[in-house]
Amino acid sequence: MRMLINVPETVVADALRGMAAAHPDLSVDVDNRVVVRRDAPVEGKVGLVSGGGSGHEPLHGGFVGPGMLSAACPGEVFTSPVPDQMVRAATAVDSGAGVLFIVKNYTGDVLNFDMAAELAEDEGIRVAKVLVNDDVAVTDSLFTAGRRGTGATLFVEKIAGAAAEEGAPLERVEAIGRQVNESARSFGVALSAVTTPSKGSPTFDLPDGELELGIGIHGEPGRERRAMMTAREIADFAVDAVLEDLRPSGPVLALVNGMGATPLLELYGFNAEVQRVLAERGVAVARTLVGNYVTSLDMAGCSVTLCQVDEDLLRLWDAPVQTPALRWGR
């Protein structure tokens, strides 16, 4: 097994220790698996808490900081965090203005965040929730009832986080998060399978010379397998799948996201093809983000997320942010 690890059992704890050493502006509780912005709770500010299985970095811990998340709860690799983590995070960031849970639509995450919301409310914390379910590839996958939550999670966390930073009340931050999710769609493609530390070998079989269209971020099956395609052909397929469902009537944010093992050279080249397709389809692009943001360990491949924005959502997207993985305007 060629991985830069000690033993599979300590992968998450080791990563959190390294994160703490690299980012002193975060408070990282390695034992209890909670990452919190060090100045939390911020008086009068809604707290934003998200989380999920590890292996998708920088999601979610890399998005903790001013202008984005207040706290994140990392689970074991590809495994939901537990309610105790979420309650601990909510307690750490609640200033009395309430806490918004941002939850990707995976069964374990949904059940555990729902339970955590009940426990937090029992402790006097007001909790609202936004469910992210942006993946147009399939419905009712191995891990979900309904559509999977993928790349739009970044858009929800950034835009809702900016609203919270401005002092918007909980109901408003929740409404903005829901608006972003409803305005966003994603589609992913795998060029290789993912290998988890516990298994030490690929989690599914993807023969040489083939790719999978519509893959999930845990290696879940997609729509179909095909012989290897060019970047141009993949962009045509992926963007059309998103546009067929989204049907934007205004400008969009575009995220060209790497799945973990695809270099930026390829991602930027793929972005050129994504931009070509959007121009051919008459879709205006307001902003573009390219890089590895919602990953699947060592999977080669990419995803495309588009989010239709109005002037207010675009203003919130452009608002300052300072996290380990996303920084501008400060």
The whole-angstrom separation of Cα 154 and Cα 150 is 8
Tokens 């900016």 map to which residue?
Answer: 162
The number of residues in the chain equals 330
- The full DSSP string for 271-310 is HHHHHHHHHHTT--EEEEEEE-SS--TTB-EEEEEEEE--
Question: What angle, 0 to 180 degrees and rounded to 10, lies between the N-to-C axes of helices 170-182 and 311-318?
Answer: 100
E runs forming strands in the chain: 26-29, 34-37, 47-54, 71-77, 99-104, 127-132, 184-190, 210-213, 224-227, 252-258, 285-291, 301-308, 321-322, 327-328
Question: Residues 157, 102: contact at Cβ < 8 Å?
Answer: yes
E-strand stretches of 119-178: 127-132
* Catalytic residue, candidates 218, 219, 253, 309: 218
Q: Is 56 a catalytic residue?
A: yes
- The active-site residue out of 23, 33, 37, 56 is 56
The sheet carrying 47-54 orders its strands as: 26-29, 34-37, 71-77, 47-54, 99-104, 127-132
Catalytic residue numbers read: 56, 218
